[in-house]
Each structure stands twice: as structure tokens, then as C-alpha cells.
Chain A
Amino acid sequence: MADAPPLDADWDRAFARQAVADYRFWSLFESDGELEQARSKIALCQRLMLLQMACEKLCKAYAYREGTTSKDLQASHAYIAKRLPLILRQIMQDFGHNPDSAKFRDLIKRQRLIARELELLQPAVDENGRRPDNCEYPWQDGTVVRSPLDYPFAIADLLQARPFGPTILKWLKTAFEREATRLHAP
């Protein structure tokens, strides 16, 4: 008898574990992280790459939970922009935020923009060549070659800019903490 393939639940769990580990790695260098003092020695593109990888795996874990096939998921990196906003909106809803508040509606719009920018950090996602900037590989920009090491990624400002950035980071943290809790649930 042939061996049975892994279940979607196995993939879900594996992606969730990896997502939480990536997120914790990213968090080490953030303002309240244990290695915050080492932050200046690590390039922005590399820190953003950790966050992008964490979010991609989080979105893939949710996809396996829903039952999307393994083949579809493993072939694509373009999962953050559509999934992450729904995940964060759900968290907002679970926290009972006032849906009629203009402030939170603006937050939802901003987190969609951040999710798209996070997705574009992946070299394989470039909006048909319009956005070659990514956090891993150099790219051609007219007559010059740009390196991610020198590039001022707009998402870094979006994540820090008040009033939205810190709140969205807090929702992200909640999303990963939920995954961690879920992984330890019986």
C-alpha cells in the first residue's frame, strides 16, 4: 500500500510553526526585542525579509486550514496581499473594535497597503516588472543596479508612521501570538 500523503492539517501546523519562529526572529531586533541593540548592524532589507517570510507562512497556514491544495500553495508567493488583510480584519472584529469608527476604517485601508507592500518584498512578486524592488536580490533600475542593502523601503516608514503603523504591528503580533497559542492547544 502506498504511503498516504500528509494531511492539510500537517501542512497548516508546519507552516504555522515556521511563521511563528520567523516572527520571533524578526521581533528580536525590534524596539522591545532582546537583540534590539544589534539592530543597527542588520540591514533593513534583511529585517523586512524576516517579516515578509513570517507573514507569507502565516497566510499559507490559514490557507491549509481552509483546505487549499498543497500544490497551489507551494508554487506561489503572492498570498499576503489578499489574505493578511482578512486575517487582521478578523482580529479587529474579535477585539470588538467599533466598525463605524472612521479611525478604524482608515486603519483597515492602511493595513491593506502594508500587506501589499509586504508581498512586494518577495523577489517573485513585482507587479509585472513595475516593482522590481525586493529585499533579497539586486535589480536593474534604468541604467543603475540597485541593491536591497541601500534601498529605502517605503514599508519601513508605513510600519512606523503614527497613528496607523504601531497599531497594525500590534495586530500582527496578535496574529502570531494566536498561532503560537493554537500550536500549543491540545
Chain B
Amino acid sequence: MVASRLSKDDVARYLAQQHFRYEPELTRIFRVGGSAEAEARPDEPIKLLEVNPITIESGVVPVGFDPSPASGVPYSTVLIEITPKEFQQFEQGLLKLPRGWQVMEEIPRAESPGSAVGSRTNGDR
């Protein structure tokens, strides 16, 4: 994968599919966005909200990562993982994202692993 040519949208989809594959328990993944101005900046992280029934219920806990071009992720990223119950609370407005972030589109699970952008693996290492 030529990481530098990929847009944030491409990389967000790639990341989401990788995460679906690593953790089949994940039920849904959403893209999260801030203001249009912030999102237009190249250094604004890609933000994903992941619904995972095997995480613990402890609210919205964002985790930030540096860019990792070698693994196909040339942008910094923020992951937020919540349980399905927390997602319900989120939908009811009882749980909120920080800094005015909003949930944008859902990234559906790809039907086949090969459809993820830029798959790269080292086998069962």
C-alpha cells in the first residue's frame, strides 16, 4: 500500500476493516468527526468509535496513537471503544463524546477480508 496517497477516508476504512478482522466480536464501527475546520487539517486524527461487547463499561475513554506509516496508517488516530449497552446510552444522549465530536457515518464490516484496503500481514508470526 502506498500510504501517502491514501486519504483519511481510505485509511479510516482500512483501519476499521483491520479491527473487524482482529476482533470479530466488534459489532459496529463509526467514524467520529469534529468541526469541518478541524477535520480539514492533516494533523487532525482519524477517530473511530467501536462497539465491542467484550470491553468493559467505563464510559468514553479515547486512546490516541501516533501515525504509523509502515503499517499503512500515515495519520494519527483516536480509538474510542464502548460496549453495546454504552452505545444505547450514547444514542439516548446519556453518554457524550468529548470536544464536541460527533458520530458520522458507520463503516460496515466488509463481506470478505480481501476487500479491506491495503491488507498486509506477516502470517501467524
B64 neighbours in A (Cβ, 8 Å)? 62-63, 65-67
B81 neighbours in A (Cβ, 8 Å)? 82, 86
Min CB–CB distance B51 → chain A (angstroms): 13
Of A81, A90, A101, most B-chain CB atoms within 10 Å: A90
Using A86-B79, A112-B54 as known contacts, say yes or no to A98 and B123 having CB atoms under 8 A apart: yes
Count contacts on B: residues with CB < 8 A to the other chain. Answer: 32
Q: Which of A65, A99, A104, A112 contacts B55 (CB 8 A)?
A: A112
Using A86-B63, A105-B24 as known contacts, say yes or no to A94 and B124 having CB atoms under 8 A apart: no
Using A67-B99, A86-B81 as known contacts, say yes or no to A93 and B54 having CB atoms under 8 A apart: no
* Docked pose: A110 CA to B125 CA in angstroms: 17
* Docked pose: A85 CA to B18 CA in angstroms: 15
By Cβ-Cβ distance, the 7 closest A-B pairs, closest first, are: A66-B64, A99-B21, A96-B122, A98-B121, A65-B64, A94-B71, A99-B22
B68 neighbours in A (Cβ, 8 Å)? 90, 94
Kindly list 18 other residue pairs between chains A and B, CB separation below 8 angstroms, not including A59-B63, A105-B23: A63-B62, A65-B66, A66-B64, A81-B55, A92-B22, A93-B18, A93-B71, A97-B124, A98-B121, A98-B124, A99-B18, A99-B21, A99-B113, A100-B21, A103-B124, A105-B22, A105-B24, A109-B54
Tell me the chain B residues, 45-76 only, with Cβ under 8 Å from chain A: 45, 54-56, 58, 61-66, 68, 70-71
Tell me the chain B residues, 96-125 only, with Cβ under 8 Å from chain A: 98-99, 113, 120-125
The answer to whether A68 and B98 touch across the interface, beta carbons within 8 angstroms, is: yes
Task: Give the A-binding residues of B (Cβ under 8 A).
Answer: 18-19, 21-24, 45, 54-56, 58, 61-66, 68, 70-71, 78-79, 81, 98-99, 113, 120-125
Task: Give the B-binding residues of A (Cβ under 8 A).
Answer: 59, 62-63, 65-68, 78-79, 81-83, 85-87, 89-90, 92-101, 103-105, 108-109, 112, 116, 182
The answer to whether A93 and B22 touch across the interface, beta carbons within 8 angstroms, is: yes
Chain A contact surface mostly:
helix
Min CB–CB distance B96 → chain A (angstroms): 13
* Docked pose: A103 CA to B22 CA in angstroms: 10
* Docked pose: A101 CA to B81 CA in angstroms: 22
Of A67, A79, A93, A109, most B-chain CB atoms within 10 Å: A93
The answer to whether A89 and B19 touch across the interface, beta carbons within 8 angstroms, is: yes
Min CB–CB distance B72 → chain A (angstroms): 9
* Docked pose: A104 CA to B21 CA in angstroms: 10
* Docked pose: A112 CA to B70 CA in angstroms: 25
Residue of A nearest to B23 (CB): A108
B120 neighbours in A (Cβ, 8 Å)? 96
* Docked pose: A105 CA to B24 CA in angstroms: 8
* Docked pose: A123 CA to B31 CA in angstroms: 36
